[in-house]
Amino acid sequence: MKLHSAWLAFVTLPFLRVFAVPAPSHHDCAHVVKERVEPPRNWVPLGPAPADHILELRIGLPQPNFHLLEEALYQVSDPYHDRYGVHYSKEAVEEMVAPHPTSVTAVEEWLETYGIGESDLTRSSAGDWVKIRVPIALAEEMLHTTYSIWAHTLDGDLVVRTTSYSLPQYLHPHIELIQPTTMFARLKGMKSTLHWPDHDEEVTYFSQAKAVPTLTQALGSIQVDPSCTQTITLSCLRQLYNATGYNSSATNGNVLGITGYLEQYLNIQDLQQFYALYRPDAVNSTFAYVSINGGQNSQNISEAGPEADLDSQYAWGLTYPTGGIFYSTGGSPPINLSAHTPTNTNEPYAEWIDYVLNQTNPPQTISTSYGDDEQTVPQSYAVRVCNDLAQLGARGVSLLFSSGDFGVGDGNPNPANQTCLTNDGRNLTRFIPDFPASCPFVTTVGGTIGVPETAVFFSGGGFSNYFPRPSYQDSAVTGYLSKLPPGLYEGLYNPNGRAYPDVSALAYNFSIVNQGKLGKIGGTSASGPTFAAIVSLLNDARLSSGLPVLGFLNPLLYTKGIAGLTDITMGHNPGCGTQGFNATTGWDPVTGLGTPNFGMLKDIILSTT
């Protein structure tokens, strides 16, 4: 498609100096398809995208020395390595992922042929991402493609996307990917259940703690109150995970971050009422709020988000007085607006990564309860985002992600309605892994239920189709696979893929305050921040002992850390018309290595220097 002169005469936009094409030589270069996808199921095109709709294109430049970063990450994360805990600075990490100068020059010259100069660019801190704002008409000219408005047949959400784009052949070695183009992902919060048996009961705000019942139920050497079999509270988690009596510091610089997306607002009134009920010493405490990409945090009680309330109440309730940060990131992949007038079609997760990577001192622990079906995320984009997360790990950040709430299924909460078909045009029946849960550079948290714990039926788990199995989990995963009956689920999963979850925690019947009322909620949205809180307490213990924080956890968890985890051996995660995988002795793709024993983990990490 050519940019017509009538379009040039009509449009005057402040973010580009000119739209003229001064150097036809690059335009005449043969364009070759860079990426092509099959439209995922349930997405249908409505028609051409409006020519004046603005896209913020993210151009990923190759990271030729990423292998050096990966090597460095594993060195500082391996408890048996001499460099364990010697994390890298922001500047050192950026140097390892910086693009080659020839790629920078090639991309700059290409953009200049479309009148896009340096003042029109936004670069990531490492220079490996370049962002530009252009109208659809210009994006189509640059990428030799056609954008359409696509609607999701299940809920009517709209998104502006294309199924393929092309670049001049000489640019292929210098541009790894461009989005939004072929990405149809639908970022979602990990919630399988939301129960409000007491939702007609107003929460009474009071300053006195409820009486803690006598501990009577024995689980080996751990005593847990019998009420915890029906309702999970902060006290239940502290008892079950052997954290009772540990007091974190308010002055050692430890911070626990929580991410929020999709207009999930963290309500301060709800948080304070929860503290009054279950953590009275935290009443009137505050947290830092960071808005990214226009993210909001409305305090209208009717807009209080159960996801954000759950994450904050349990993560910070378990770790108080450790500092807290809530990141509210605006935007979402599909925008539900009137037809042909979408105003924001960018995927918000990348905006959060950009922001955090640009911070000199990010939180030592960050919990995320969002993700998507791996197959709806183009592999090039998934790999790049995963590599960005590795940067945070090398800098000493522990990243915890919920594993998903649909077992091995495709995101439909009714297992009977799960289709579990591939989106590659072949429509093969396969288990559907989640991303970023499948990224090998994060710690993924599955779910359990009950006291004593068994695997909860919705615990997401399985094997990535994008990422190969990392060496740190070779022994654990091959041990599990060797115990599977021959031929079981053959062809439904990738036995050589990155396996998840890594660990687990309780994920059902959590008592929260939402919109001023008390109720119960469940999902790996509960287990993720719970395990993150335990990690934050471990970081607190190391900081208070003069030791560096833990950073990327998995090499530790799969070695020395196993002794501080309680193996979960019962339950399964059904989906796709199957019973899914079984929990069993050792690692399994339902509960991972097991649930945390804070006291034992603390002893391990304090003896690991």
- Concerning whether 424 is annotated as a catalytic residue, the answer is no
Which residues lie below 8 Å from residue 21, measured CB to CB, with a gap of 6+?
3, 27, 113, 114, 115
For residue 517, the one-letter residue type is K
Sequence-distant (≥ 6) Cβ neighbours of residue 591 within 8 angstroms: 446, 447, 448, 455, 459, 461, 501, 503, 504, 568, 571, 583
* Tokens coding 599: 């006291």
Tell me the C-alpha to C-alpha distance, in Å, between residue 417 and each of 186, 372, 412.
18, 18, 7
Half-sphere exposure of 469 (CA within 13 A, CB side): 21
Angular region, 548: left φ>0, alpha ψ -120 to 50, beta rest: beta
Closest CA to 364 of 402, 404, 319: 319
Q: Is 222 annotated as a binding residue?
A: no
Q: Is 248 a catalytic residue?
A: no
Read off the amino acid at residue 397: V
Concerning whether 155 is annotated as a catalytic residue, the answer is: no
Q: Is 568 annotated as a binding residue?
A: yes
**Is the bond preceding 589 in cis, omega lying within 30 degrees of 0?**
no
Structure tokens belonging to residue 384: 């790049």
Cα 120 to the center of its chain, rounded Å: 30
Which among 380, 398, 402, 525 is annotated as catalytic? 525
Place of tokens 């705000």: 205
| CA nearest neighbour of 551 among 395, 352, 386 | 395
**Sequence-distant (≥ 6) Cβ neighbours of residue 361 within 8 angstroms:** none
Structure tokens at 509: 């019947």
Taking the alpha carbons of 282, 523, 292, 248 in that order, is the dihedral positive or negative? positive
Whether 588 has a binding-site annotation, put simply, is yes
Please give the Cα distance from 324 to 134 (Å, whole number). Answer: 37
Distance CA 493, CA 525 (A): 24
Q: List the catalytic residue out of 94, 128, 311, 453.
A: 311
- Cβ partners under 8 Å of residue 327, min gap 6: 257, 258, 259, 260, 290, 292, 295, 352, 355, 356
Which is catalytic among the residues 307, 309, 351, 388?
Answer: 307
Q: What is the set of active-site residues?
A: 307, 311, 525
Residues at the binding site for Ca(2+) are 567-568, 586, 588
Q: Annotated binding residues, as ranges?
A: 567-568, 586, 588
